[in-house]
DNA sequence: AGCGGGGATGTAAACGTTTGCACAAGGATG
DNA sequence: CATCCTTGTGCAAACGTTTACATCCCCGCT
């Protein structure tokens, strides 16, 4: 592989000149530039970014660390991150982790020297110290942290508000016994959605009932499997809030297969507004969140933080939006958390 | 930020020793190791991977370049790549591109020095020369190339076989006038699926009819919009093969909304077997492909190629599987392309 | 006691860039 | 004509590691 020295020798100039050509320095004569470019093309010279970033201390790369859950929600986040990063000519290096905050810091360490900063979804509140440590090495922006932190900026989805508004909507539709299908334990989104549900119930003077809280894992199979559990509850619930759309759709499908009518016998609501939520039958009442926007905003936040005098401790919340379709009766489309609505371009996920 | 020199000085040893500790050299005394680790922890020393890979010429990172289409198909591919890479302790650096093979080479260039190899989905046949050039710099494995190449290995999905088998199934169900909703122009998967459809028709002695070939873009909105076009065709088709599930579900939903019965009036079939295909109503007959396996296998292929005496020109095809559900009538579940079935672990996507 | 060998550590040269500084040449200025 | 900028280029020192080679020390053998 040709190096900058080969190009320099072949072109009869110094490596400094070649470097200047590649960095668009204005100090190089037109004819020298031409010559260097020509030789570089002939030698098929590709600059080595590792060497470059070793000396400049810039990598033009962002690390991205997400949980190992690949559904449409995550692919949209990544898409948002990728687009926003590309707009600034940054690349992203992606890693997924399972649970552990030890694993998180190992990943951050292994990225040292190859990234300028990190966009991460923290596993749980226990990782706060780890995050603090990492952000001493480079700027970090957290996605949906389940905890308060003064060590870095964060961008969140209004999980709590969304779940609460959705539950309130179910109550307003006249449902009394509302069950919930929770997400995986220790998952921050899952916890916040559960909290919103409970608070909406207690606001309405309804006691939350542990037997109405069923554990799921955010995959549609789990929604399907849970059907039996739902039908076993006595007295039978008249509505179920599945904390994501995949589970809601799995559950709805299983209920219909058991001859239970939706929404007449049992109403179903989901969360996320995945692209197919409007296309199932009955179409799914859910809470729309802007996963693309979440990713994109995190990246923009990172750039603001990294600029001169960046705050580095900004906390933003993206609004969630109640989307009323047919799986609960009703047809109202409503917006919540408008007060948090930003005026930035959302970038337009589907 | 502490460097290896700081640690060495503070511990009263040479940088070589610190380096040896970090690389697990057996030549270091237990007590020295202890000391170095302790100092490193105290100084919060994180080794710089750029410097490391500059001298070792290894990055333990794979580049991944995919089209900018983020649906479940792509997120599964990425998941497969990530898992297989992580199993070898490799990281991935992800980039998406739009169309251009110029963009593809620009990305590959910008990754020089930061990756050991590349997993890429080539934009179109025109990029063959670009691929050849890139693979002179590091090993490349292509996903679903639309062209023959002797410059690198490739792993493909049996798009053609799958589409052909599906079309044959529609014919066997008694459908005569089968329309197709194509994918985006110049998309390799889309082209292969179209080819399979046409060949199945001509095998059956049916002329393919240009007015029955409608352009889509792989998104469910496009399936919905196309509904009107379908209903305008005279005589009306009695089956529609939408070349991915998103479009199929969008179309099905729109047809139902127009009072057209599925499958009685018009049968619908899709492609990909996304996780929700079995949960819509009627459930979708489709072709199952293992996107997770595609990504994982590409990575494993890369590792075989990079080993001593790696072939670097292996071509593999992953089988597609006809999945008969209710959107076309019938209920048979069938496997095709068994002859291509590999005996490797598929890795188990959902 | 002398010698050889091997185990632990240090020295210093790489890896491929960027960039501060020096320098040469030429043109403008006094 | 001497001086001073300006412009283009080269020299060489960094950046933070790894690793071949040298060195030193200690132990066991003859």
Q: Which of residues 42-61 of A touch strand D (CB under 7 A)?
A: 51, 54-55
Alpha carbon distance B191, A172 (integer Å): 50
* Same domain assignment for residues A146 and A168: no
Which residues are CB-contacts of A7 (< 8 A; sequence separation ≥ 6)?
A18, A36, A39, A40, A43, A45
Alpha carbon distance A10, A43 (integer Å): 9
CA of B32 to C1' of D27 (A): 21
Instruction: Check whether A343 has a pLDDT greater than 70.
Output: no
Alpha carbon distance A252, B280 (integer Å): 10
B53: Cβ under 7 Å from strand C?
no
Identify whether A340 is part of a domain.
no
* Same domain assignment for residues B266 and B300: no
Give me the phi and psi of B145, to 5 degrees please. Answer: -65, 145
Alpha carbon distance A59, A49 (integer Å): 8
Domain-ending residue, one of A247, A266, A288: A288
Identify whether A28 is part of a domain.
yes
Angle, vertex CA A57, rays to CA A103 and CA B104, nearest 5: 80
Instruction: Check whether A123 has a pLDDT greater than 60.
Output: yes
Closest CA-bearing residue to C1' of D12? A16
Residues B299-315: b if buried by 16+ CB within 10 A, e if exposed: bbbbbbbeeeeeebeee
Digit-coded pLDDT (tens) for B48-102: 999 999 999 999 999 999 987 678 888 899 999 999 999 999 999 999 886 778 8
CA A182 vs CA A191, A197, A215, A238, A270: distances in Å: 8, 10, 5, 17, 11
Other beta carbons within 10 angstroms of residue B258's beta carbon come to 12
Q: What pLDDT is stored for residue A158 in this prediction?
A: 96
Checking phi first, is residue A262 left (phi over 0); if not, alpha (psi -120 to 50) or beta?
Answer: beta
Q: CB distance A275–B74 less than 8 Å?
A: no
CA A126 vs CA A100, A138, B8: distances in Å: 9, 20, 32
- The reply to whether A113 touches chain B by the CB within 8 Å rule is yes
Which residues are CB-contacts of A138 (< 8 A; sequence separation ≥ 6)?
A115, A116, A117, A118
Q: CB distance A94–B93 less than 8 Å?
A: yes
Q: Please give the tally of structural domains in chain A.
A: 3
Provide the chain B residues 181-220 that lie in CB contact (below 8 A) with chain A. 219-220
Q: What pLDDT is stored for residue B335 in this prediction?
A: 37
Digit-coded pLDDT (tens) for A302-317: 999 998 776 778 899 9
A contacts of B252 (beta carbons < 8 Å): 279
Q: Which of A128, A134, A162 lies closest to A147 in space, CA to CA?
A: A128
To the nearest whole percent, how much of chain B has pLDDT over 70?
92
Strand D bases near protein CB (under 7 Å) are 7-12, 14-20
* Same domain assignment for residues B122 and B238: no
Digit-coded pLDDT (tens) for B281-326: 899 999 999 999 999 999 999 999 998 777 778 899 999 999 999 9
* Same domain assignment for residues B223 and B272: yes
DSSP state of B131: H
Q: Which of A144, A228, A221 lies closest to A179 in space, CA to CA?
A: A228
A322 vs A28 pLDDT, higher one: A322
Which residues are CB-contacts of B249 (< 8 A; sequence separation ≥ 6)?
A276, A279, B220, B223, B270, B276, B277, B280, B284
Looking at residues B247-263, what average pLDDT do you find?
A: 94
* Same domain assignment for residues B11 and B88: no
Cβ(B242)–Cβ(B181) below 8 Å:
yes
Closest CA-bearing residue to C1' of D19? B16
Q: Which of B203, B326, B200 lies closest to B269 in space, CA to CA?
A: B326
A39 vs B100 pLDDT, higher one: A39
Q: What pLDDT is stored for residue B350 in this prediction?
A: 36
CATH code for position B189:
3.40.50.2300
Identify whether B341 is part of a domain.
no
Digit-coded pLDDT (tens) for A204-231: 999 889 999 999 999 989 999 999 999 9
Domain-ending residue, one of A247, A269, A288: A288
Cβ(A116)–Cβ(A106) below 8 Å:
no
Alpha carbon distance A227, A240 (integer Å): 10
End-to-end CA distance of chain B: 43
Residues B223-251: b if buried by 16+ CB within 10 A, e if exposed: bbbbbeebeeeeeebbbbbbbbbbbbbbb
Digit-coded pLDDT (tens) for A151-185: 899 999 999 999 999 999 999 999 999 999 999 98
- The reply to whether A233 touches chain B by the CB within 8 Å rule is no
* Same domain assignment for residues A281 and A166: yes
Identify whether A56 is part of a domain.
no
pLDDT bin (cut points 50, 70, 90) of residue B329 is confident
* Same domain assignment for residues A89 and A117: yes
* Same domain assignment for residues A22 and A110: no
Identify whether A215 is part of a domain.
yes
* Same domain assignment for residues B27 and B85: no
* Same domain assignment for residues A178 and A137: no
Cβ-based burial of B215 (10 A; exposed 0-12, middle 13-18, buried ≥19): middle
Alpha helices in A92-186 (DSSP H): 101-111, 128-134, 159-172
Average pLDDT over all residues of chain A: 89
Identify whether A337 is part of a domain.
no
Q: What pLDDT is stored for residue A303 in this prediction?
A: 95
Q: What pLDDT is stored for residue B330 in this prediction?
A: 56
Provide the chain B residues 235-274 that lie in CB contact (below 8 A) with chain A. 246, 249-250, 252-253, 256
pLDDT bin (cut points 50, 70, 90) of residue A330 is low
DSSP state of B169: H
Q: Which of B12, B97, B18, B10 lies closest to B52 in space, CA to CA?
A: B18
Alpha carbon distance B159, B157 (integer Å): 5
Identify whether B32 is part of a domain.
yes
Digit-coded pLDDT (tens) for A277-303: 988 889 999 999 999 999 999 999 999
pLDDT bin (cut points 50, 70, 90) of residue A346 is very low
Q: What pLDDT is stored for residue A26 in this prediction?
A: 73
Q: What pLDDT is stored for residue B336 in this prediction?
A: 41
A14: Cβ under 7 Å from strand D?
yes
- The reply to whether B225 touches chain A by the CB within 8 Å rule is no
A45: Cβ under 7 Å from strand C?
yes
Q: What pLDDT is stored for residue A97 in this prediction?
A: 80
Which residues are CB-contacts of A45 (< 8 A; sequence separation ≥ 6)?
A2, A3, A4, A6, A7, A39
Digit-coded pLDDT (tens) for B101-155: 888 999 999 999 999 999 999 877 778 889 999 999 999 999 988 888 888 999 9
B113: Cβ under 7 Å from strand D?
no
Q: What pLDDT is stored for residue B25 in this prediction?
A: 79
Q: What pLDDT is stored for residue A211 in this prediction?
A: 94
Cβ(B341)–Cβ(B319) below 8 Å:
yes
Q: What pLDDT is stored for residue B346 in this prediction?
A: 39
Give me the phi and psi of A248, to 5 degrees please. Answer: -60, -45
* Same domain assignment for residues B37 and B94: no
CA of B22 to C1' of C6 (A): 23
Identify whether A328 is part of a domain.
no
* Same domain assignment for residues A29 and A104: no
Q: What pLDDT is stored for residue B347 in this prediction?
A: 38
In a 3-state reduction of DSSP, which class is residue A182?
Answer: strand
Give me the phi and psi of B185, to 5 degrees please. Answer: -60, 145
Q: Which of A99, A83, A110 lies closest to B61 in space, CA to CA?
A: A110
Tell me the torsion sign for CA atoms A26, A28, A34, A37. Answer: negative
Alpha carbon distance B298, B305 (integer Å): 10
Range of the domain at A243: 159-288
Nearest CA-CA distance, residue B341 and chain A, Å: 25
B contacts of A93 (beta carbons < 8 Å): 61, 91-94
Instruction: Check whether A75 has a pLDDT greater than 70.
Output: yes
Average pLDDT over all residues of chain B: 89
DSSP code per residue over B53-118: HHHH----EEEEEEES--SHHHHHHHHHHHHHHHHTT-EEEEEEE-S-HHHHHHHHHHHTTT-SEE
């Amino acid at each position: 592989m040709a190096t900058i020295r080969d190009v320099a020798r072949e072109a009869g100039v110094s490596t400094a000149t070649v470097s200047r050509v590649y960095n668009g320095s204005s100090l190089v004569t037109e004819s020298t530039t031409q010559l260097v470019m020509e030789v570089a093309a002939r030698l098929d010279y590709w600059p080595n970014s590792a060497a470059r970033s070793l000396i400049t201390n810039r990598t033009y790369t962002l690390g991205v660390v997400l949980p190992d859950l690949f559904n449409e929600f995550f692919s949209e986040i990544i898409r948002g991150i990728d687009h926003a990063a590309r707009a600034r000519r940054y690349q992203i290096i992606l890693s997924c982790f399972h649970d552990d905050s030890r694993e998180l810091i190992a990943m951050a360490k292994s990225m040292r020297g190859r990234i300028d900063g990190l966009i991460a979804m923290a596993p749980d509140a226990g990782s706060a110290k780890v995050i603090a440590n990492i952000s001493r090495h480079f700027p970090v922006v957290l996605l949906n942290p389940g905890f308060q932190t003064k060590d870095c900026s964060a961008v969140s989805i209004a999980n709590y508000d969304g779940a609460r508004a959705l539950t309130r909507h179910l109550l307003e539709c006249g449902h009394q016994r509302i069950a919930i299908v929770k997400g995986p334990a220790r998952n921050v989104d899952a916890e916040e959605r559960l909290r919103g549900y409970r608070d909406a119930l207690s606001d309405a003077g309804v006691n939350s009932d542990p037997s109405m809280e069923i554990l799921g894992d955010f995959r549609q199979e789990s929604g399907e499997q849970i059907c039996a559990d739902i039908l076993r509850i006595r007295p039978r619930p008249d509505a179920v809030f599945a904390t994501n759309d995949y589970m809601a759709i799995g559950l709805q499908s299983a209920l219909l297969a058991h001859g239970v009518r939706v929404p007449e016998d049992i109403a179903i609501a989901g969360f996320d507004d995945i692209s197919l939520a409007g296309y199932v039958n009955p179409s799914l009442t859910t809470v729309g969140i802007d996963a693309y926007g979440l990713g994109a905003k995190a990246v923009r936040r990172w750039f603001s933080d990294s600029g001169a005098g960046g705050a580095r401790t900004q906390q933003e919340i993206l609004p969630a939006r109640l989307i009323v379709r047919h799986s609960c009766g009703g047809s109202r489309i409503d917006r919540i958390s408008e007060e948090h609505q930003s005026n930035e371009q959302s970038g337009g996920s589907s």
